[in-house]
Amino acid sequence: MERASASWVIYLSLVCGLLFMLLPFPLEWRIFRPDIATLTLFYWVLALPQRVGVTTAFFLGLGQDLIEGSPVGLSSLGLMISVLVLLSNYQRIRQFDGVQQSLMILVLLMLTSGAEQWLRNGMGMPGLPWLGLVGLSCSTVCWLAVREILRSLRRYYEVT
Amino acid sequence: MVGLQKAAIDGVALTTGVILAPVEAWDRMVAAMNSRSDLQEEVLRLQQENRVLKGQSQRLAALLSENARYKALLRSAQLIDDELIAAQIIAVSPDPSRHIVVVDKGTLDGVREGQPMLGEEGLMGQIILSGERTSRAVLITDSAHALPVQVNRSGLRAIAEGNGAIDRLLIRHLPAKSDIRVGDLLVTSGLGGRFPNGYPVARVTEVVISEGEAFALVTAEPISALDRGRYVLVLQRTVESEAES
């Protein structure tokens, strides 16, 4: 395995994704906010599966929960599950064209959100309304843009 | 875990402040460019308003003490003096399934968990987690929130539940024969001890009584505009003396 270089780019981009959650959105529009942090995580898992994996997903989930104020660890499980799926299929998903890949990302986002809803249900917390699926599609639409931005960053800083 | 969350609240609020700094600066610049005459007019208006309010609060003080005397005579209820802390909503929780806001006052200012939060017109919610300088408050429309209310006109007691829509509260399990009408004002009933009684909560907008159903379904609209406005009041209760009930 080659040595890690410029891995700060990875963590900085994840932190930026988390900061995006803090941008003020009107109360009724929050549902359409694309989940940039999760998309960033998915990109790095696809690009550098030897560097970013389940542990990173766990800590990103912790960060999301602390920002949202939901019970700590709630988002982690879903992220870890979808990162596992991604890790075992990354070679295939890398070969997909843009639309196929976006659809795959939508499935992964639904898996993440599904696991979270399941936990919320078990804890008696209010779940996401059905409109939440629209929010997931907003994230999906952003996938290609996020991928291009992060890819150029990865090439520029030669992150490995 | 709760300690971690409390520590995170302040950090998150600080970061939000940094992100929002340009917006705030713009607001301040716009305010600074208001003309002198506008400001003078506003000062005059506010002074008048302040005089009226002061006059009203004088009467309030007299009424409060009178009320306290009566209550002492009845030896029934505890005497409660409400103190208000002015706060500002600085953020909305990113979780779209909850109605949670962040206010800029924390334990250092005396804000504690469970204190009611008021808007200009009526009850807005309650504090659920307080950090040192900021706190999280849940709004009454959150789908995990319910509060005991009373119809102001008839004294009928009920539970008003949030259901995740910002302009709606639901009252279920109210017998179909209950005395409740469209336009009735719902105020806090004080049962449960969390919210002091008498604060306006919502106005009834719809009463659905279906044939053969045991319960009426009542919908009400919160009186304070929960998704607008930034300034809120946190109610600090100081229980002066507890008489036997």
How many angstroms separate the CA of residue B185 from the nearest CA in chain A?
25
Work out how many domains chain A is built from and give that number.
1
Note the pLDDT of residue B34: 74
Look at residues B14, B95, B181 and name the one whose alpha carbon lies nearest to residue A125.
Answer: B95
Statement: residue B201 has pLDDT above 90: yes
Mutation site for A-interface testing, chosen from B14, B97, B100, B102 by largest number of A Cβ within 10 Å = B97
Phi–psi pair at B163, nearest 5 degrees: -135, 20
**pLDDT tens column, B158-173:** 999 998 888 999 998 8
Least confident of A48-57, B14-23, B45-54, B130-139: B14-23
CB atoms within 10 A of CB B223: 20
Cβ neighbors of A35 (< 8 A, separation 6 or more) are A109, A135, A136, A139
Residue range(s) defining the domain that contains residue A118: 3-156
Statement: residue A42 has pLDDT above 80: yes
| CA–CA distance, A139 with A145 (Å, rounded to integer) | 10
The helix or strand, by DSSP H or E, that contains position B99, with its residue range, turns out to be none
Are B16 and A129 within 8 A, CB to CB?
A: no
* CB–CB contacts below 8 A, A to B: 74
Query: Once rounded to an integer, what is the mean pLDDT over residues B193-211?
Result: 89
| CA–CA distance, B176 with A125 (Å, rounded to integer) | 29
| ipTM exceeding the 0.85 mark | no
Angle (CA) B53-B59-B61 rounded to 5° is 100
Residues of chain B contacting A26 with CB distance shorter than 8 Å: 92, 227
